[in-house]
Chains A and B, each alone.
Chain A
């Protein structure tokens, strides 16, 4: 069984994102890492391989040349091979899904495990769009994944509880936070990763024009928090909620 794991290079989750005066997110000298949900996806694929339920794991990243670093991290965790689709453009979920579909058509995987969303733009669309383009079943926000022959059981975190789905292969899975805890890349595995191959391609080589269709009008930092006030009575609270906060 073959698993594809798309991974995105994003600003590290520990970085306090700043907006430049020119109105874009400051990415200069900022630590970049693998999207945390994608790390969970890589971990899940490796666990399936360790249980002898998968044979090959291919990590795919679409982005700038430096995204090869992100792929190397996945290889050091335990993926077998990488594909870097190099594109300087800002990529939108639909374009990413189209590129992934083209790769899936060629690689014919049994499973594609994605993060439920990337922590940079929080779109939460790529997995679902890819499922539609491939016409495959999807199990999104997975908190548990079980494989038994051709059938896949996915436990999903939904409002008010857990939902369990049975899917047939090939299928799309997107990961939620509680699916697993990703491992560290050990030093021996980092050394081994050096020899694993990364294939270099472009969106154009799949016949896809990566140009964005959405225009970003403005990027603003979150509003600064204002200091709180103590109120004397419920009456005053209701009054303030009505007159100042405009909530009531």
Chain B
């Protein structure tokens, strides 16, 4: 339900996007420039990184609903900025350090001053998270990490990297039981000893770099790990929120594409009339707006259910599937409405199109989402 408070939060996020995010995206995306620190600072001052952090820990103590409202609004300008939110917020649970330091860092996270990066995926383990091979071994009071990670976005600029590592073999046929989440402390802007990396050449999601990482004996304190062998389960909890967040980002992108296409259809004239007067274009826009509205309704129903408590893995998977497939279709149709102009970097629509493509791949691909939903309908199927 849209309360007064939520409306104000959305207004702030939309206003911020219009005034600060969109102009930056239009400039930096095409030159593959980094999101400036000053923008992160401004987001921190507004409270965007502390939405999901409990009040007593220095955050806003709000829910997935508010989190998604802000993510949607920011992604309407630039998905990478909407994605930045996840480097704070729910990530507070993985902040490294002893009790005192962790408290300080979580407070800093709520202000956007202490942010993390996820290193889950590997060259050989994408959808199959249980196949992770990067190893961590205990040596005295430390973990020593060795192995490769792939696709770690923001690794260079983060204050810590959350590495899912194999700490045990797991029982036969239960590989997922050998995984542990370990938070590696590091300096913002560089890599610690025992860690090197290269940026991966991607086709979108600019504003930050996505890294291939080589761990060769990187060390972190033993206390910086979650329960040993249980990372698969804590990830499963995180995934529901991450997928709702991804659905929100997809919807933001689709809205951007729709709004731009709508404006273009009214301004562009062919055959002596605005192209928005041709039924082919009018119906396209009508379908696009209906699809966005349907995905939004599903997402916020999911958010409300998640905030109400309980395991919403299937609902979140459904929302992510629907929203990301929708976003690719809608942004592609928007590009079509812009004609040749859509196929240039002179308009933002191509960015929405390129970025929405990613929402079908990461945080669990569409196929994996369908697997989760079909398992819930039919019981677990074969792999």
Is the C-beta of B297 less than 8 angstroms from some C-beta in chain A?
Answer: no
Of B30-38, B46-54, B249-257, the one with at least 4 CB within 8 A of chain A: B46-54
Residue pair B16, A190 in contact (C-beta under 8 Å): no
Residue pair A190, B18 in contact (C-beta under 8 Å): no
* C-alpha spacing A188/B46, complex, angstroms: 8
Give the top 5 A-B pairs by smallest Cβ distance, nearest first. Answer: A187-B47, A190-B8, A186-B46, A184-B12, A185-B12
Interface residues of B in 1-57 (CB under 8 A from A): 4-5, 7-9, 11-12, 15-16, 18, 45-48, 50-51
* C-alpha spacing A93/B30, complex, angstroms: 49
Is the C-beta of B370 less than 8 angstroms from some C-beta in chain A?
Answer: no
Candidate in B15, B18, B51 with the most chain A CB atoms within 10 angstroms: B15
Which residue on chain B has the smallest CB distance to residue A188?
B47
For A194, the chain B residues whose CB sits under 8 A away are 4-5
Residue pair B46, A184 in contact (C-beta under 8 Å): yes
Residue pair B60, A69 in contact (C-beta under 8 Å): no
Digitize A70-101: 1 where CB-to-B-CB distance is under 8 Å, 0 elsewhere: 00110010000000000000000000000000
For A14, the chain B residues whose CB sits under 8 A away are 18
**Interface size bracket, A side:** 10 to 19
Is the C-beta of A191 less than 8 angstroms from some C-beta in chain B?
Answer: yes
Smallest CB–CB gap between A48 and chain B, Å? 21
Residue pair B15, A190 in contact (C-beta under 8 Å): no
Residue pair B15, A184 in contact (C-beta under 8 Å): yes
Residue pair B60, A185 in contact (C-beta under 8 Å): no
Q: DSSP class of B's interface residues: helix, strand, loop or mixed?
A: helix
Residue pair A190, B5 in contact (C-beta under 8 Å): yes
Residue pair A187, B4 in contact (C-beta under 8 Å): no
For B60, the chain A residues whose CB sits under 8 A away are 187-188, 191
Is the C-beta of A114 less than 8 angstroms from some C-beta in chain B?
Answer: no
Residue pair B4, A72 in contact (C-beta under 8 Å): yes
Smallest CB–CB gap between B263 and chain A, Å? 8
Smallest CB–CB gap between A16 and chain B, Å? 8
Residue pair B12, A193 in contact (C-beta under 8 Å): no
Q: DSSP class of A's interface residues: helix, strand, loop or mixed?
A: helix
Residue pair B47, A69 in contact (C-beta under 8 Å): no
For B62, the chain A residues whose CB sits under 8 A away are 187
* C-alpha spacing A244/B164, complex, angstroms: 76
Residue pair B11, A73 in contact (C-beta under 8 Å): yes
Smallest CB–CB gap between A7 and chain B, Å? 14
* C-alpha spacing A193/B12, complex, angstroms: 14
Smallest CB–CB gap between A243 and chain B, Å? 25
Contact of A187 with B11 at beta-carbon distance under 8 Å, contacts A72-B4, A194-B5 already known: no
Contact of A72 with B8 at beta-carbon distance under 8 Å, contacts A184-B15, A187-B51, A191-B60 already known: yes
Interface residues of A in 185-205 (CB under 8 A from B): 185-188, 190-191, 193-194
Residue pair B11, A186 in contact (C-beta under 8 Å): no
Residue pair B12, A69 in contact (C-beta under 8 Å): no
For A185, the chain B residues whose CB sits under 8 A away are 8, 11-12
For B5, the chain A residues whose CB sits under 8 A away are 190-191, 194
Contacting residue for A76 out of B8, B16, B18, B50, CB 8 A: B8
Smallest CB–CB gap between B66 and chain A, Å? 8
25 A-B pairs (CB sep. < 8 Å): A14-B18, A33-B11, A69-B4, A69-B7, A72-B8, A73-B8, A73-B11, A184-B12, A184-B15, A184-B16, A184-B46, A185-B12, A186-B12, A187-B12, A187-B47, A187-B48, A187-B51, A187-B60, A187-B62, A188-B47, A190-B8, A191-B5, A191-B60, A194-B4, A194-B5
For A72, the chain B residues whose CB sits under 8 A away are 4, 8
Which residue on chain B has the smallest CB distance to residue A190?
B8
For A188, the chain B residues whose CB sits under 8 A away are 47, 60
Given A184-B15, A188-B47, 15 other A-B residues pairs in contact with their CB atoms under 8 A: A76-B8, A184-B12, A185-B8, A185-B11, A185-B12, A186-B12, A186-B45, A186-B47, A187-B12, A187-B47, A187-B50, A187-B60, A190-B12, A194-B4, A194-B5
Which residue on chain A has the smallest CB distance to residue B70?
A187
* C-alpha spacing A76/B51, complex, angstroms: 16
Which residue on chain A has the smallest CB distance to residue B8?
A190
Candidate in B15, B46, B60 with the most chain A CB atoms within 10 angstroms: B46
Smallest CB–CB gap between A132 and chain B, Å? 35
* C-alpha spacing A188/B51, complex, angstroms: 10
Smallest CB–CB gap between B361 and chain A, Å? 31
Which residue on chain B has the smallest CB distance to residue A193?
B8
